[in-house]
Amino acid sequence: MKELYQSQDPFEKKDYIPSWGPAVACDVASKLLGRKVNAGTTTLHYAESLTWSKGDEFHQEFEEKLYYDLVELNKVLKWDFIRMPWRLTEKPIKQIDKFTFVYGSESNPTIRKYDPASGNFAAIKGPQDNLTVDDIPKIVKEERKNFKKDVHLVDYYSNLIENFRKAGADGFELIVSAAGICIPPDNIWLPATLLYPEAIEEYLDLALERALYELEILNKLGVRYIAGGGDLASNKGPMYSPDCFKKMMTPRLKKIGDFCKENNMVYSFRSDGNLWSILDEILIKAGCQAYGEIDKNAGMEIDLLKERYPEKIFFGNIPSALLHNANPERVIKETKELIEKAKGAKLVLGPSNAILKGTPVENVLAMVETLEKYREDVHN
């Protein structure tokens, strides 16, 4: 299936900077296309849950339409990469009210509630609510006991590619979210790196096994670009020490990087925040081919990145907050400045993260039109 997407690597085209976007909230996508569209962010999770509540036939129609909408949206935005949608595919067992749904089982439920103001659709109650750090070894032991390769992933990824094919995605470079590996950045798992390091390493071994299995499938299907990694940092730096990352993450991440290098795949380690203190581990020692969600507001500037890692690929660098809060004039100014700084870099320019609910369409179009106007000169 290698002929499905771009036969030419986006970076082989001289004097050109490719573009992309991780996700676009449904309300923004709807305004861009002039009709109701289900596109991305947790607004998509809420939309899909609403559809499930109407019945299986409605959900099937929702799923078929989703890929056509994403392809049309990417064409309007003139993006070169198209990313698989981040979905909440689990069918709710109950709808409590307009914004609240129950998942899992009655005895062990997860309850999610949608906030119309922010567009967040988050869990307000779940199985982990009563867990403590002392439960981590037991959780990991149970995961190891029940671990097996998910044979359904072959069909899942095959269907994903076929859905994009039917929707007319030929010509885009598909980037698939897969092979993630990280220590969950919360107040249960992070202390366990100190209290139960062996359990954390076993947890990461399981994540590595899953990741390599997913990469094997995607390689056979001809997918080249992978969005992996996992959130681990704030604007001040990683949520756990660089020494911990070096010991626990780097050796496993290197196996992923080696697999991708051997198979001509690009593994993008994805995380917001300031990663300077561990970026050598990710891009040099582990050999990841790319770094995604580069966060300018956290000090991850493209001119500094290209100087230190000239052969690596970068995704993003236009702050999502800029698009959400600024005016078109400022968006144009900062996009032009970024294009200038990106000269000579392997940058896939776009938002550092999702285009959020309520983002002015004028700002999104200002970014797109500025890039379209100036990107042909980016390497001159």
CATH number at residue 349: 3.20.20.210
Measure the CA–CA gap between 77 and 21, rounded to whole angstroms: 9
Residue 69: CB atoms within 10 A of its CB come to: 21
- pLDDT score of 128: 87
> CB within 8 A of 167, min separation 6: which ones?
67, 68, 70, 71
Domain assignment present for 18: no
- Cα dist. 168→50, 87, 93, 172 in Å? 27, 20, 34, 9
Whether 175 and 324 share a structural domain: yes
Whether 49 and 94 share a structural domain: yes
Tokens of 217: 């499938």
- Residue 117 has φ and ψ, to the nearest 5°, of -70, -45
Note whether 63 and 197 are same-domain residues.
no
HEC secondary structure over 221-285:
CCCCEEEEECCCEECCEECCCHHHHHHHHHHHHHHHHHHHHHCCCEEEEECCCCCHHHHHHHHHH
Q: What is the pLDDT of residue 10?
A: 72
For the chain, 380 residues long, the average pLDDT of each consecutive 10-residue run is 52 81 98 97 98 94 96 97 96 97 96 98 94 98 94 96 95 96 96 98 98 98 97 96 98 99 98 98 99 95 97 97 98 96 94 98 98 71
- Classify burial at 236, counting beta carbons within 10 Å of its beta carbon; exposed 0-12, middle 13-18, buried 19 or more: exposed
Cα separation, 76 vs 356, whole angstroms: 18
Decide if 43 contacts 26 (C-beta within 8 A): yes
Would you say residue 81 lies in a domain?
no
For residue 76, is it within any domain?
A: no
* Alpha carbon distance 268, 290 (integer Å): 4
Give the integer Cα–Cα distance in Å for 189 and 272: 19
Domain match, 109 and 216 both: no
**Neighbour-count burial for 125-158, b at 16+ CB within 10 Å, e otherwise:** eeeeeeeebeebbebbeeeeeeeeeeeebeeebe
Nearest partner of 314 among 286, 352, 284, judged by Cα: 352
Q: What is the per-residue pLDDT for 138?
A: 98
166 and 100 within one domain: no
- Which two tokens mark 79? 């993006």
Q: Give me the domain span that covers residue 261.
A: 131-377
**How far is Cα 328 from Cα 337, in angstroms, rounded to an integer?**
14
- Name the DSSP letter for residue 90: P
State whether 154 and 298 are in the same domain: yes
φ, ψ dihedrals at 327, nearest 5°: -115, 165
Total residue count of the chain as it appears in this document: 380
Determine the 3-state secondary structure of 82 from DSSP: strand
Are 208 and 294 members of one domain? yes
Do 300 and 267 lie in a common domain?
Answer: yes
pLDDT reported for residue 213: 98
Total number of domains in the chain: 2
d(CA 246, CA 226): 22
Strands lying side by side in the sheet with 173-180: 81-83, 173-180, 225-229, 266-270, 290-294, 313-318, 346-351
For residues 53 and 143, state if they share a domain: no
Are residues 193 and 92 located together in one domain of the fold?
no
